[in-house]
Amino acid sequence: MLQNKKNNIKKIFALLLLIVISISFIAAAEGNDETPIALVKKIVKNVTHRVDQDSDWELAKTGMPLNSGEQVKTGFRSLALVLFTDGSGLLRVRENSILNILGKQSDKNLNKNTVIEKGFVGFEINKQEAEEFKFTTPTAVAAIRGTEGFIEVGDKKLSTIACSEGKIEVESLIGIKSKIFVEGGYFAVQQPNGYFKIRQLTGEMLDKLKQTKKSSLEKIKIETKEGIIEVEYYSDEE
């Protein structure tokens, strides 16, 4: 009788294992059918990515698709151009930045949320009709409708949002949790108490916006008596 019980337990265990494996395969198969929400259009120097928080960082490659939940990290003087697969826009991830791309399908619409843990991200987003497009930083959330600008997460995790065209709705996640609109030609700097200071784009900000668009890495080698000096710089995209 004891032997029968042991046999039954083994059978049940085997069956459960089979079910779990099947479910895993099914899930994996469904995962393979999932359309990536973005892809990496261009890489300059050191850009890595990982599938989730528990995975290791691996070198990213040009043309690599990104699914919801994946992260992209750029190193020193590095750049990644990320394109959304629904044609909704482009992100320019500048050096020393980490971002996490999330997407949720709703009918034929893909609601996107780009989480910027740190760094500087320029964006060109087409006019959204039904879809949501958000940027989330550790301290703020910005909703985009059809906009060009950049978002920067500073050392103290405070956010700066600049808008060259369109309009951005920004809500603070800290302090008094204020909500504002940043229109084309203005930028907002988050204060520690949760307020935003809105000002017209200064020359420095306009330069930053201009620099955001430079993604072609050029190199000049200068021969000197002491050796060869290499100077690298970004120029405009062709």
Partner 1 sequence: MGSLDIRKYWYFAFYSAKSMPLKGIKLIALFSFFSASIFAQVSNTVSSVTIGELKTGNPVEITAQLVNPLSVTSVQIVYKSFQDIDYKVRDMEIVGNTATYKIPGKDVSAPLLSYYLVIRLANGGKETYPQGIPDFAKPIELTVNNRTEKDNEILILSPSEDETVSLNDLFISVSLVKVPDIVDVSKTKIILNGKDISSKVTFAGDLLLFYPDNFPGTVESGPQKIEIKVYDKDGNLYYSTAREFTTFGEEGIFTASKKFTLNGSVIGEIRNENFNSVSTLYNNIGLTLTGKYDDWRIRGYGYLTSEENSRVQPQNRYSLTVSNNWLYLRGGDSYPRYTDLLLNGKRVRGIDGSIDAGGVTLQGSYGQTRRSVEGVLLETYPRDNTPLVSNVIMIDSAKYGNPYGRVEFGVYERDLLAGRLAFGNSNKVQFGFNFLHSKDDVRSIDFGVKPQENLVGGIDLKMNLDNRRIVIKGEAAVSLLNSDITTGSFTDDQIDSIYAVEGVTGGDAETFKNVNRILGSVITVNQFIEPLNITELASLATEGAIELNYLSNNLKGSYIYRGSQFKSFGQEYTRTDLQGFNIHDRIRFARDQFFVTLGYEDLHDNLQNTKQATTRFQTFRVSASLYMKANVPNITVGYIRNQNKNGVDPQDTLRINVDDVTNRFTVNVGYDFNLPVRHNATLGFMSSDRKDYGYYQSNANYLSTSFGLNSYWTRHFLTTLSVIYYDSEISLVKYSYLTVSVGGKYKLLQDNLELSLYFSPSYGDFERQSVDFIASYQVIQNLWLRMQMRYYNMSQSYDNSIAGLTVRYNF
The contact set with partner 1 (CB under 8 A) reads: 32-36, 39, 41-42, 62-63, 65, 83, 85-87, 108, 110, 146, 165-166, 184, 218-221, 223, 235-236, 238
| 108: Cα separation from own chain's centroid | 22
As measured in angstroms, the least distance from the Cβ of 15 to partner 1 is 32
As measured in angstroms, the least distance from the Cβ of 184 to partner 1 is 8
For partner 1, which is the closer residue by CB, 156 or 225? Answer: 225
Instruction: Name all contacts of 112-117 with Cβ < 8 Å and 24+ positions apart.
Output: 112/37, 112/84, 112/88, 116/151, 116/153, 117/153
Instruction: Tokens for 222, please give them.
Output: 């200068």
Containing 178, the helix (H) or strand (E) segment is none
Q: Which of 123, 121, 102, 97 is nearest to 112 (CA)?
A: 102
Instruction: List phi, psi (to 5°) of 5.
Output: -65, -45
For partner 1, which is the closer residue by CB, 111 or 191? Answer: 111
As measured in angstroms, the least distance from the Cβ of 183 to partner 1 is 10
Instruction: Tokens for 201, please give them.
Output: 């784009």
- Distance separating alpha carbons of residues 151 and 159, to the nearest angstrom: 7
As measured in angstroms, the least distance from the Cβ of 167 to partner 1 is 8
For partner 1, which is the closer residue by CB, 83 or 173? Answer: 83
As measured in angstroms, the least distance from the Cβ of 220 to partner 1 is 7
CB 60 within 8 A of CB 72: yes
For partner 1, which is the closer residue by CB, 7 or 235? Answer: 235
Query: Side-chain half-sphere of 40: how many Cα atoms within 13 Å?
Result: 25
As measured in angstroms, the least distance from the Cβ of 108 to partner 1 is 6
For partner 1, which is the closer residue by CB, 90 or 158? Answer: 90
For partner 1, which is the closer residue by CB, 63 or 75? Answer: 63
